Structure formats: C-alpha cells, structure tokens
A and B are shown apart, each in its own frame.
Chain A
C-alpha cells in the first residue's frame, strides 16, 4: 500500500508492503509528520521553534524533541567544521535542514516497532527504505538529474541505508564564467549521500553540498558515508564506496 500527501511543504510518500495494518500505520506516519511540522515549522507562528525565535520560551522549557534536534544540529556543525549551521544571520534558528531526515528516521523506527520489515518513507526526495519491494526485490532508487526532472541519472540499491540529495535545479546546462571562459566550472549542482540511515545521509548531504567540490572529498574521508556529486558541466564524481550501491 502506497500513499502520497503534501506535508511540511513537500510530497511525502509512504509504502508499506504486505502488512495487514498498513492503512492504519500509514495514517500514523502522516500524523507523526504533521506533529513534527507543528513543532518545527518556522512558518507556523505557534510552533515551538517560532516561540524560541520570538524569545517566548525559556531554554529550560524546551521539549525533548527540540533538545534532541538542536543537539544533533550542534554535533553536525562540529563534525563539518561549521558547514552545517541552523542559526540564520538574524540570529534566529532554522533546523529544517535536519528535521526532515530526523523525522523520516523516526517514522521508519515507528514502522519497525510495529513489526513492518518492508517499506520506504520518502520526504521530498530523502528516503529511508527497508527490506524489499512488493516484488520481493531490493528497493531501486533513482537519482534525479539536476538538469531534467524527468530523467534518472543513476539507479542505486541502498538496502537499509538512507539516501538524501541536496542541490539546485539547473535550467541551463551551458553555464560558463564570462570572466574566465577557459576556467573549469566548479559549481556543483547536486550531491547525493548514502548513509547508515536517512538522518546521517540528510545532515551530511546538506553540509557537504555547502562545501562545494571539496564536499565529495569530505565524504570520502568519512567511514560510513558515500556520495555522488554532479557539477554544472554534467560530470559526476563519486566516492570509492559508492559503486557498491549501484544497481547492476
């Protein structure tokens, strides 16, 4: 059973394979995302994060969920030498760069606790899959072309790993620097990260993308992360271990 709804400003798709209570569990997953949105949305004036940003809540009164997310954000900032930052120039906090992966991971944990082994949860292109699809085969995930949203440029089998993509949408592939037309373009447009779970993939996809081309070397140096980086010329660079996930 598969369902897609728009929540947190993005399409969220949940598929549960052959579970008797699939319908109820899918409702529970969407209810969970709605609760996360209510707490963490910076667009909702009555959310906890808005209350924090307006100085309406004392640090001692933060919810356990907020503490956990802020702690993960602080840890990610350290691990990426400041390339992950939830504090905006105006001083306000926007943890949305981490909330998505965190919420998908928690939704997946919810399903596992209910005994579901074969499923995926996809929120805006960041995905936690588990087990096999309805045909009993490993989940196949396509990486979308940053140049054409109808096109897949890679097919991977992440297994129980999480996958997340950060990037920008490119309308015109032929980008060059008019001040240095001969210089190699080093703009990167898409970075897909596979991690031990979707939270790991998401937080490092966000941070490594901000590093620019060096992001792929950062990922290469991390034992549990693999990456596939696409630059503005349509050239992809992959970490050494990424190949293990590519569909044969």
Chain B
C-alpha cells in the first residue's frame, strides 16, 4: 500500500512542498513538463515533524502523481506562516462543467452526518449484508450452543 496515495489533500501537498524546501528565489521551479513525477511510494510524509516556524519564501514541492494526474503546489510563507498555496500543476482533463479555480485544489465540502427523517423507497448501504451476516452468524452460534446443550442432555 502506498502511503501517499491515501492522501490527496491540500494540507499534505503543502507539507510536501515545504518538506521539499526548494526556495523559489534560489532555485526556480523546473517547468512542470520537464519534471519527472515523484514516485507515489516511499516513506509516509510526516506533517507533524515539519510543523513549526517555516522559513519565509516560496517553496515549490515535487510533482506528485495523484491517480488522476500530476499535482504540484507552491507554498508561500511569510512571518513563519503559510499565507497561500499556489497550484502550479493540476490535471487539466477534469470535467469542464465544473468551475475549477486553477489556483486552488478543489476543497470538497464536509459535513457532520445526521439522521434524516422522511420516507424513502429504497436504501443504499453496505451495512445490510454485513449486519445480516452478523445476525445470521449469531443465530447460527445460538443454535450451535442449544444443540450442544441438547446433545449433552441426550448424552447424559
């Protein structure tokens, strides 16, 4: 399992940009099409060890393969804090109907789940079969227990 591939979040990309520590002033970012993608495998990126005061400047991370294309970001640090993240490269074959800001990775909407009232025609869920499995198993085990007892009784 490739640890990076479990994350495609902006925070991690920003952290990888910082861990890459390539001040843009000192070493301008290589044009994206000349940059070989960084292997998606490798050691997990530990954000916590990279936290703390950052050096001021713009830091360009390596190009990462995020399943659906290559992603590269630049983190801009002022006063030791990340003030902005520029997306230098992002897959362009995305759905055109969606208004994607080329300067920002899409931030997908989060919400805390809550029980919904109202009737539905059908239910989609993965739990049904596993719940049924557990119920069936527990019934089977209960039967096994009672059979065991009755056999024991028969035998006694």
Bound pair (A, B)? yes
Give A contacts to B, CB under 8 Å: 9-11, 13, 15, 80-81, 120, 122, 124-127, 129, 133, 139-146, 148-149, 151-155, 163-169, 186, 190, 192, 211-214, 216-218, 220-223, 230, 234-241, 243, 247
Closest A residue by C-beta to B118: A155
Smallest Cβ distance from B10 to chain A, in angstroms? 10
B6 touches A221 (CB 8 A): no
Say whether B122 contacts A13, CB under 8 Å.
yes
Q: Chain A CB within 10 Å — which of B115, B121, B127, B130 has the most? A: B121
B128-A217 in contact (CB<8A): no
Instruction: Give min CB distance, A105 to chain B, whole Å.
Output: 15
- Residues of chain B at the chain A interface (Cβ within 8 Å): 5-9, 66-69, 91, 94-95, 97-98, 106, 108-116, 118-132, 134
Contacting pair A142 B116 (CB below 8 A): yes
A141 and B67 contact, Cβ closer than 8 Å, known pairs A153-B114, A169-B130, A237-B108: no
A213: chain B residues at CB < 8 Å are 6-9
Task: List the B side residues contacting A155 at CB < 8 Å.
Answer: 116, 118, 120
Q: Please name all residues of chain A whose beta carbon is closer than 8 Å to the beta carbon of B112 when the two chains form the complex.
A: 234-236
Smallest CB–CB gap between A206 and chain B, Å?
Answer: 10
Closest A-B pairs by Cβ, 7 of them = A144-B125, A167-B126, A221-B68, A142-B120, A212-B6, A217-B8, A223-B95
Instruction: Check if B106 sits within 8 Å of A144, measured CB to CB.
Output: no
20 contacts between A and B (CB under 8 A): A10-B129, A125-B127, A133-B121, A140-B118, A140-B119, A141-B124, A142-B116, A142-B122, A142-B123, A146-B126, A169-B127, A211-B67, A213-B9, A217-B9, A218-B67, A230-B113, A235-B111, A237-B109, A237-B110, A240-B109
Give, as a whole number of angstroms, the nearest-CB distance from A114 to chain B.
Answer: 21
Task: A126-B124, A211-B67, A237-B108 are known; give 8 further A-B pairs, CB within 8 A.
Answer: A120-B122, A141-B122, A144-B124, A144-B127, A149-B128, A217-B9, A217-B108, A240-B106
Distance, CA A146 to CA B132, complexed state (A): 14
| Residue from B6, B120, B129 within 8 A of A214 (CB atoms) | B6
> What residue of chain A has the Cβ atom nearest to residue B90's Cβ?
A221
The residues of B that contact A126 with a CB separation of less than 8 Å are 124
- CB proximity of B95 to chain A, nearest CB, Å: 4
Complex contact B129–A124 (CB within 8 A): yes
Knowing A11-B132, A81-B67, A217-B8 touch, does A167 contact B113 (C-beta < 8 A)? Answer: no
> A143, A154, A169: which contacts B131 (Cβ < 8 A)?
A169
Chain B proximity of A128: nearest CB distance (Å) = 10
CA distance A125 to B121 in the complex (A): 12
Q: How far apart sit A58 and B67, CA to CA, in the bound complex (Å)?
A: 35
Q: In the assembled complex, which residues on chain A have CB atoms less than 8 Å from the CB atom of B128? A: 10-11, 124-125, 144, 149
Across-interface contacts of B124 in A (CB, < 8 A): 122, 125-127, 141-144, 163-165, 192
Q: Provide the residues of chain A in CB contact with B114, threshold 8 Å.
A: 153
In the complex the two chains form, what is the Cα distance from A144 to B122 in whole Å?
10
- Whether B121 contacts A120 by the Cβ 8 Å rule is yes
